[in-house]
Amino acid sequence: MASELSERIAALRKEHGLTQEQLGNMVGVSAQAVSKWEKGGTPDVELLG
């Protein structure tokens, strides 16, 4: 499941022409957090609230 989510996050980000930094800014997290998500880490839903 985590790899499906990470692949989906990366694909959608790229489809919209966003960098990891831009996506992070949009959702209020760091580029490092986005990178972690794309490598299989799961988003902390409390951070996204």
pLDDT at residue number 17: 98
**Is pLDDT above 80 for 44?**
no
Q: What is the pLDDT of residues 13-35, one digit of tens each?
A: 999 999 999 999 999 999 999 99
Tell which residue, 32, 40, 30, has the closest CA to residue 9. Answer: 40
**Is pLDDT above 80 for 46?**
no
Which amino acid, 27?
Answer: V
**Which residue intervals of 1-49 are DSSP H helices?**
2-15, 20-27, 31-38
All domains in the chain, ordered by first residue: 2-38 (1.10.260.40)
pLDDT at residue number 49: 59
